[in-house]
């Protein structure tokens, strides 16, 4: 039943009351954020160095993702997520209030505006992984792709509504009112989250911050599926950000529009993205993930060229509609793949790294295309961005997405090792040694299996790993890996192994005759 609902309706997760309530709260906040972006850009659009300063608004908003995304992921994995969300949102409300007051008092120079934008962007990147990591717990697994698409719809619906509202308000009651409404949306979001404390919950054995930070970094470094998703995301978003960063200049310089016209262009992108959500299930059914990315990238590249060449408002709006479709098709696809792949213990950290690439690529791209437009002009900037986008699509031949449909992502609790001496001495290294006896005709198969097992060990907590061959008996292999502490090693057994990790272990163990033998060694104290 869940599978058929997921395939037939992108709105199915909204039938779940808890998901629907949070989705609406996030939508309200996202609308306010886009109103804030339009207001900030409009304060700078008529000043000197407008091309660079307007693009720097997006950079200031997204740069915190590069600096603090993993921090947000660690906090979301080790603390009660409701309390974390409420605390950050209250802080953002206070910052938004200060921004409103200073703008109303005409005390908002460009540098201070960019600083406030950076502060609010920091809050947003602390909120995002905490919310997104809750999604697979609120909806059944078959509905996760639809829930991910709804998250993209949420953002793009906000793009359609927020800029249009902002354009009207800027023209009638000023930018300060826009900033004030944005601050109010943060407060609303905080109140909604606080009314659902069951969403939170500290893990049964919460990690400390620094070990948790290291564990998240190790997981991403040794997860090829995650790395490929992040690479494809960057290759799409760096050139794709040209449209979002420079659209205000297209509106004013190419089309002669005001703030309401700019809001209309952003709204066209948002409407295209929302419309794309309706056809996305059918597209997924017909195209592989790699084919979908290729089609989305080439379509978006063509839209970049058409937008740059157009002098007609109607034509530009028509071109922006398919650009919005391809934007949501790409982002919802990679986001759903990550949510389905990442195990629960590291989900927020993995998603936070994705957020870091997502916003970091847009921040870098916005700065790059702002400089290119300021020196070479708007049209050359868009044409170059389109060429880079097409070149990125061509790299699918070398760096395709990896298939995850057949991977078992359920958590498996392994039997815990039994010791006869105390292991309660804190953060001392633990050495794990496993001995395999491999027949000559199985050696190559064994080495291939150990390559996968190596990454599994390092993903789940090992700090280093090595495989040795016995110098006196070439059929004997010794696997050694270290873990930072006995507590960390127990986490490997209790809460970090997936069915896929177990399969890697079993594939290697099945090649050994006799069965492999494992020993655990604790650091010994040596006194000078």
Structure tokens at 308: 């740059």
Alpha-carbon distances of 507 from 47, 222, 416, rounded to whole Å: 64, 19, 20
Task: Extract the tokens encoding 331.
Answer: 């982002």
CB atoms within 10 A of CB 523: 14
Residue with tokens 């986001």: 335
- What per-residue string of b and e applies to 55-68 under the rule 16 or more CB within 10 Å gives b? bbbbbbbbbbbbeb
CA distances from 522 to 372, 424, 431, 485, 519 (A): 57, 10, 6, 9, 10
Q: Which residue has the tokens 């494809």?
A: 232
What pLDDT is recorded for position 203?
Answer: 54
| Region of residue 497 (left: phi > 0; alpha: psi -120 to 50; beta: else) | beta
CATH code for 411-522? 3.30.70.100
Distance CA 147, CA 352 (A): 18
- C-alpha count within 13 angstroms, C-beta hemisphere, residue 9: 9
Calpha distance 204→199 (Å, rounded): 15
Handedness of CA 370, 374, 378, 382 (dihedral sign): negative
Tokens, residue 498: 């997936």
Q: How far apart are CA 215 and CA 209, in angstroms?
A: 10
In this structure, what are the phi and psi dihedrals at residue 517, rounded to the nearest 5 degrees? -115, 135
Angle of helix 175-194 versus helix 81-104 axis, rounded to 10: 160
Separation in Å, CA 147 to CA 155, 189, 233, 391, 409: 13, 19, 19, 31, 18
Angle between helix 17-44 and 175-194 (nearest 10): 160
Q: What is the pLDDT along the chain (528 residues), one digit of tens a residue?
A: 334 344 446 678 888 888 898 999 999 999 998 888 888 887 777 666 666 777 778 778 777 877 888 888 888 888 878 888 999 999 999 999 999 999 888 888 888 988 999 999 899 888 988 888 778 778 887 787 778 778 777 876 776 677 777 777 777 777 888 899 999 999 999 999 888 776 655 555 567 888 888 888 899 999 999 999 999 999 999 999 999 888 888 988 888 887 678 778 877 887 887 777 777 777 877 888 889 899 999 999 999 999 999 999 999 999 999 998 898 888 888 887 888 888 878 888 888 888 888 877 887 888 899 889 988 989 999 999 999 999 999 999 988 887 776 788 788 888 888 887 766 655 688 999 999 999 999 999 999 999 999 999 999 999 999 999 999 999 999 999 999 988 889 888 888 889 999 999 999 999 999 999 999 998 877 776
CA nearest neighbour of 348 among 215, 152, 462: 215
- Which CATH number does 2-397 carry? 1.20.1250.20
Tell me if 196 sits within 8 A of 21, measured CB to CB. yes
Domain map (residue ranges) of the chain: 2-397, 411-522
Kindly state the helix (H) or strand (E) to which residue 204 belongs, with its residue range: none
Determine contact, residues 350/73, Cβ cutoff 8 Å: yes
Neighbours of 20 (CB within 10 A): 15
Say if CB 130 and CB 200 are below 8 A apart. Answer: no
Q: What is the 3-state secondary structure (H, E, C) of 136-203?
A: HHHCCHHHHHHHHHHHHHHHHHHHHHHHHHHHHHHHHCCHHHHHHHHHHHHHHHHHHHHCCHHHCCCC
Nearest to 434 by CA among 472, 393, 466: 466
């Amino acid at each position: 039943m869940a599978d058929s609902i997921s395939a037939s309706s992108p709105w199915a997760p909204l039938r779940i009351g808890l998901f629907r309530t949070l989705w609406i709260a996030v939508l309200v906040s996202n609308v306010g954020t886009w109103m804030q972006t339009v207001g900030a850009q409009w304060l700078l659009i008529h000043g000197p160095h407008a091309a660079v300063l307007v693009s720097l608004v997006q950079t200031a908003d997204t740069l915190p993702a590069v600096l603090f995304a993993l921090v947000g992921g660690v906090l979301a994995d080790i603390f009660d997520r409701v309390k974390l969300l409420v605390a950050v949102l209250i802080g953002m409300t206070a910052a938004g209030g200060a921004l409103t007051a200073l703008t109303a008092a005409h005390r908002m120079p460009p540098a201070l505006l960019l600083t406030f934008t950076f502060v609010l962007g920091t809050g947003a990147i602390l909120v995002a992984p905490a919310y997104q990591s809750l999604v697979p717990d609120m909806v059944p697994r078959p509905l996760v792709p639809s829930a991910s698409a709804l998250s993209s719809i949420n953002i793009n619906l906000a793009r359609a509504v927020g800029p249009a509202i902002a354009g009207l308000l800027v023209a009638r009651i000023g930018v300060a009112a826009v900033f004030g409404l944005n601050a109010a949306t943060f407060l609303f979001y905080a109140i909604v989250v606080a009314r659902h404390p069951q969403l939170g919950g500290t893990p049964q054995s919460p990690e400390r911050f620094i070990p948790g930070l290291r564990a998240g970094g190790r997981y991403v470094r040794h997860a090829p599926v995650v790395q490929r998703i992040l690479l494809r995301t960057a290759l799409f978003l760096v050139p794709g950000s040209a449209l979002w960063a420079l659209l205000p200049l297209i509106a004013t310089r190419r089309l002669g529009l005001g703030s309401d016209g700019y809001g209309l262009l952003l709204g066209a992108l948002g409407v295209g993205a929302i419309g794309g959500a309706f056809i996305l299930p059918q597209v997924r059914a017909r195209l592989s993930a790699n084919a979908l990315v290729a089609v989305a990238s080439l379509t978006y590249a063509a839209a970049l060229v058409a937008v740059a060449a157009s002098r007609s408002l109607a034509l530009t709006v028509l071109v922006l509609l398919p650009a919005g479709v391809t934007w949501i098709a790409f982002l919802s696809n990679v986001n759903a793949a990550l949510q389905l792949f990442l195990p629960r213990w590291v989900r927020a950290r993995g998603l936070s790294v994705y957020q870091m690439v997502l916003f970091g690529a847009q921040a870098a791209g916005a700065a790059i295309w702002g400089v290119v437009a300021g020196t070479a002009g708007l049209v050359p900037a868009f044409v170059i961005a389109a060429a880079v986008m097409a070149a990125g699509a061509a790299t699918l031949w070398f760096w395709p997405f990896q298939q995850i449909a057949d991977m078992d992502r359920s958590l498996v609790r392994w039997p815990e090792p039994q010791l006869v001496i105390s292991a309660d001495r804190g953060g001392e290294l633990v050495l794990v040694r496993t001995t395999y006896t491999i027949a000559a005709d199985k050696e190559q198969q064994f080495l291939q299996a150990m390559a996968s097992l190596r990454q599994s060990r390092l993903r789940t907590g090992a700090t280093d790993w090595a495989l040795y061959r016995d110098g006196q008996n070439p059929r004997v292999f010794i696997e050694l890996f270290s873990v930072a502490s006995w507590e960390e090693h127990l986490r490997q057994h209790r809460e970090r192994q997936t069915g896929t990790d177990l399969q890697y272990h079993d594939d290697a163990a099945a090649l050994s005759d006799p069965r492999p033998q494992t020993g655990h060694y604790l650091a010994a104290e040596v006194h000078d």
